[in-house]
Amino acid sequence: MLDESVSREIEETLAQLTLEEKISLLAGKDMWRTVPIPDKQVPSIKTSDGPSGARGDSFTGGTKAAFFPSGISMGATFNPELAYEVGQFIGDEVKSKSASVLLAPTACCHRSPLGGRNFESYSEDPLLSGKMASAYIRGVQSKNVAATMKHYAANEQETWRLHVDETIDETTLREIYLKPFEIAMREGRPWAVMSAYNIINGEHCDSNSLTLKQVLRGEWKYEGLVMSDWFGCNSMVDSLLAGLDLEMPGPAKVRPVKELVAKAEKDDSIREAVDKAARRVLTLIAKVGKWKDMTPEAPEISREDPETGKLIRRAGGEGVVLLKNDGALPLQPASLKSIAFVGPNAKATVAGGGGSANLNPNYLTQPYETFVKAIKEIDASIEVPYAQGCIIDRWIPPVNAESGLCRSGGPGSEPGWLVEWFRGHDLKGEVVSSSVFKNSDVFLWDGRPEGLNPAEGYSIRFSGQVSVPEDGNYNIALSTITAGNLYVDGELLIDNWDFKERGNLMMNIGSEEVVKTLELKKGQWYNIEVRNASIWPKDSPRDPPMEEIGALGVRLGLAAVYDNNSLIAQATDSVKNSDAVVIVVGLNNEWESESYDRTQTKLPRNQDELIEEIAKVNKNVIVVNQSGAPIDMPWVENPNVKGIIQAWYAGQEAGNVIADVLLGKQNPSGKLPLTFPVKLEDNPSYNYFPGKDKKVEYTEKLMVGYRYYDTDNVKPRFPFGYGLSYSSFKVGKPVLSTTELSEDGSFTATVEVSNTSAVAGAEVIQLYVQRKTSGTSSIKRPIKELKGFKKIHLQPGETKTAEVTVDDKSLGIWSPEAGKWVVEAGDYEVLVGTSSVYDELAAAGTVVAKSAWSWI
């Protein structure tokens, strides 16, 4: 709550603002900031992506920042207290980027394993998602930084994301897809909310009469700020009347001041909505401590510090899920002379998924190097041979400065790539601005120098020199957003000036990758130049927002030509005599990203074949998978695959996290926050994802994730809530505090948990409720649902009591007939256990609601 004096000042300022000034506040100033009004002492405040850290104001190559574990990794911890702690540290990161508003957390549920942004959000279950988001929000806002809960609502696919129309019945919408936001609204109280791109039942989310106007603003009485997703404001007046306060980014495109002034002057309802929205913008400025603070924005800084790294390492480790362990883990160095590392991710720095959740990390770690360092400290004589096995790059990889294979000019020049800006399309005249980028993947949608106008046209020269580590044939690749050509030693190699096809690169607006092969020599430096102009190819699919802001982008790739069959054969041969083999496989930010969905759950690029071939020649195989969503595991029953670790995306400490778990320095205590199906076709949304002709029906209704697998008796590969440990636990008989439930009441399940091993660890007690009456619901209901959970950390031999409390509102179901939430009279069986597996849950007893009650 704001001080009364500040609230009065906000009203006084609002009264002093002209209609034009009020409306100017309702769209951004630029890509990341709000509009200031200096004469009235209204400052601009800055926003920053995203869920895994604070990136700052450069989409690529910006100020270094701490890279935290992805949302799905945090969801697997089942630990809201840890999410709160992570939120606190990210709040400090936001401040280091001179920002006041964090565009996070992502609170959406997972509908399909193929969702491109599943890695960003917490779970397929609305309760777990809501609880984790609530804690994260509280942590961020404890630092006087606004958290922006997103994407409201039902933003579960990236295919046609700006225009997909989702048909969702109201019961499903409220119980599954609005529920995480409702929980976080009640328990986290976010200062801002971001509307989603998609359409729900014929109305865009930024002006949706049910989700935004009726539920958020009406039933939940939310008075915080609601902003659009970037380029996601679709109407001038309707969005304003529905409760959308801020169009982002700026300058205003859908809400031009002059036109909106004219409408407001003729319509009192519009003028009243303008006042409300402007008040909310001013209130947010005050909440983040910037009220009347006209201090110029400070430069961004990197606040790399040991404590942040320690937290990221601990949080990443706590999210790791041990899926299989036939006595192979943790590794015992005393009995192992050779531990081989194999796999495309073994020497890769896989920290997170792609898109707006990405950032320029303070540092990165990879599994092989960190494991070698750790094992040599234990026993320097242990050998750790390495073989890549296969390559999973979706596209030809870019060249970064750290490789030592690129420089921005001639001998002695800065490592990286020189980007020079010019007026006009032909790179003539004086250089307007120049800078050196550390990577050859440059998405220039937010870094255009002042004075360059999209209407007048401009261009860049992207240049540098490259060398190669060995003689051979190399693939050189180019993708651009607008017209571009690639020259090698002055000769045109790739003509991409009038391309027609777009692919998934650069937020789904880059051209399809064009690849050419050249023979290159070790020790020779080759001149590379890409000319990229703000000319939208006439036959290329349009992207109005990117055309309007004049986005440029260059992605240059360079890699040796390879043969996966040879790589697999080499790896197989190299591990025959090793005592154990760790195979690090999975996905990365090319396969899982904002802007596009996956097309399959199968591991790409021969990874399954690699595991199967290795398991033929070695009987002690451990598979480590890095992904933000389920993958197929056809090798899971192979007796030579002794261990499986689901490592998710653990941020900048991912390498250390994996090494810690392999060696037992970190006891895995994560639980699956989503179901791993045996195959993609088993998923309930399979036939209806992503839809057809920009439309999708949520025909599975409430049968999302484990609700479907349990209810329809479909056996998953690994169930929701499942996860093993290096410890062993004994869970006692659960006891209920009461057998009756009345309106505004609650019940508590109490259970003793003992660590019966010599290893400290943690267990997650999960409480499910099974309704014993069919009730009056007109929609098929799941046989049980998660209604509470508690993580318990235990020392060897220690016993603690876990208490899980469920309030009456948690048992409510939505009645479309009554237009209310209803707790039906009847029996509710309470089940307690350590996963969602029905046969392994213990009955705590039955809670009876003797009469029904309802609420809105």
Dist CA 833 CA 840 (whole Å) = 7
- My answer on whether 746 and 810 are in the same domain is yes
Give the model's pLDDT for residue 544.
84
- My answer on whether 111 and 133 are in the same domain is yes
Task: Name the amino acid, one letter, at 214.
Answer: Q
* CATH number of the CATH domain containing 326: 3.40.50.1700
**Residue predicted with more confidence, 130 or 775:** 130
- pLDDT band, very low/low/confident/very high, at 682 (cuts 50, 70, 90): very high
Asked if pLDDT for residue 777 goes beyond 80, the answer is: no
Give the model's pLDDT for residue 776.
62
Asked if pLDDT for residue 773 goes beyond 90, the answer is: no
CA 620 to chain centroid, in Å, comes to 34
Q: Tell me the angle at which helices 126-141 and 179-187 cross, rounded to the nearest 10 degrees.
A: 30
Asked if pLDDT for residue 190 goes beyond 70, the answer is: yes
Asked if pLDDT for residue 279 goes beyond 90, the answer is: yes
- My answer on whether 473 and 501 are in the same domain is yes
Say if 607 falls within a structural domain: yes
- Mean pLDDT value of segment 353-373: 96
- Mean pLDDT value of segment 711-738: 98
Task: Take residue 417 and report the two structure tokens written for it.
Answer: 């790539």
Q: What is the pLDDT of residues 32-67, one digit of tens each?
A: 999 999 999 999 999 999 899 999 999 888 999 999
Say if 536 falls within a structural domain: yes
Return the sign of the alpha-carbon dihedral for residues 323, 327, 333, 339: negative
500: exposed, middle or buried (C-beta count within 10 Å: 0-12, 13-18, 19+)? exposed
Query: What is the maximal distance between C-alpha atoms in the chain?
Result: 83
- Mean pLDDT value of segment 453-478: 96
Q: What is the pLDDT of residues 314-345, one digit of tens each?
A: 999 999 999 999 999 999 999 999 999 999 99
Give the model's pLDDT for residue 700.
97
Say if 527 falls within a structural domain: yes
3-state secondary structure at position 314: helix
Q: Given the structure tokens 């777990």, which residue do they identify?
A: 128
* Domain extent at residue 661: 317-350+379-389+570-711
Dist CA 386 CA 342 (whole Å) = 6
- Mean pLDDT value of segment 143-147: 98
Q: Given the structure tokens 């318990």, which residue do they identify?
A: 792
Say if 360 falls within a structural domain: no
Give the model's pLDDT for residue 548.
83
Domain boundary among 498, 529, 560: 560
* CATH number of the CATH domain containing 77: 3.20.20.300
- pLDDT band, very low/low/confident/very high, at 774 (cuts 50, 70, 90): low
Give the model's pLDDT for residue 60.
84
- My answer on whether 180 and 132 are in the same domain is yes
- My answer on whether 627 and 776 are in the same domain is no
Task: Take residue 141 and report the two structure tokens written for it.
Answer: 């806002």
Averaged pLDDT of the chain: 96
Return the sign of the alpha-carbon dihedral for residues 570, 576, 578, 581: positive
229 is catalytic: yes
Give the model's pLDDT for residue 547.
85
- My answer on whether 606 and 664 are in the same domain is yes
Give the model's pLDDT for residue 775.
59
Q: What is the pLDDT of residues 635-671, one digit of tens each?
A: 999 999 999 999 999 999 999 999 999 999 999 999 9
Q: Is the preceding peptide bond at 153 cis, omega within 30 degrees of 0?
A: yes
Say if 409 falls within a structural domain: yes
Say if 260 falls within a structural domain: no
Give the model's pLDDT for residue 446.
83
Say if 20 falls within a structural domain: no
Domain boundary among 231, 250, 269: 250
Domain boundary among 510, 536, 560: 560
Asked if pLDDT for residue 449 goes beyond 70, the answer is: yes
Asked if pLDDT for residue 826 goes beyond 70, the answer is: yes
- Mean pLDDT value of segment 830-842: 96
Asked if pLDDT for residue 594 goes beyond 70, the answer is: yes
Beta bridge partners of 853: 823
CB neighbours (10 Å) of residue 354? 21
Asked if pLDDT for residue 8 goes beyond 90, the answer is: yes
Q: What is the pLDDT of residues 234-272, one digit of tens each?
A: 999 999 999 999 999 999 999 999 999 999 999 999 999
Q: What is the pLDDT of residues 807-816, one digit of tens each?
A: 999 999 999 9
How far are the Cα atoms of 214, 218, 241, 262, 802 from residue 267, in angstroms, in the given order?
21, 22, 11, 9, 58
Q: What is the pLDDT of residues 540-561, one digit of tens each?
A: 988 888 888 889 999 999 999 9
- My answer on whether 703 and 586 are in the same domain is yes
Give the model's pLDDT for residue 545.
83
Give the model's pLDDT for residue 432.
96
DSSP letter at 782? -
* CATH number of the CATH domain containing 444: 2.60.120.260
* pTM of the complete model: 0.96
3-state secondary structure at position 661: helix
Q: What is the pLDDT of residues 155-175, one digit of tens each?
A: 999 999 999 999 999 999 999
Q: Could you tell me which of 719, 697, 698 has the C-alpha nearest to residue 707? A: 719
Asked if pLDDT for residue 778 goes beyond 80, the answer is: no
Task: Take residue 254 and report the two structure tokens written for it.
Answer: 């859908």
With a pLDDT cut of 90, the percent of the chain lying above it is 95
- My answer on whether 678 and 818 are in the same domain is no
- My answer on whether 506 and 425 are in the same domain is yes
Range in 282-286, 450-454, 456-460 the model is least confident about:
450-454
- pLDDT band, very low/low/confident/very high, at 576 (cuts 50, 70, 90): very high
Give the model's pLDDT for residue 546.
86
Say if 576 falls within a structural domain: yes
Catalytic residue among 49, 165, 169, 229: 229
With a pLDDT cut of 70, the percent of the chain lying above it is 99
In SS3 terms, 8-54 reads as HHHHHHHHHCCHHHHHHCCEECCCCEECCEHHHCECCCEEECCCCCC
- My answer on whether 211 and 155 are in the same domain is yes
717: exposed, middle or buried (C-beta count within 10 Å: 0-12, 13-18, 19+)? buried
N residues, the chain: 856
Give the model's pLDDT for residue 53.
97
Dist CA 464 CA 458 (whole Å) = 20
Q: What are phi and psi of 508, to 5 degrees?
A: 75, 15
- My answer on whether 646 and 746 are in the same domain is no
Q: Could you tell me which of 302, 439, 309, 403 has the C-alpha nearest to residue 365? A: 309
Total number of domains constituting the chain: 4
- My answer on whether 173 and 196 are in the same domain is yes
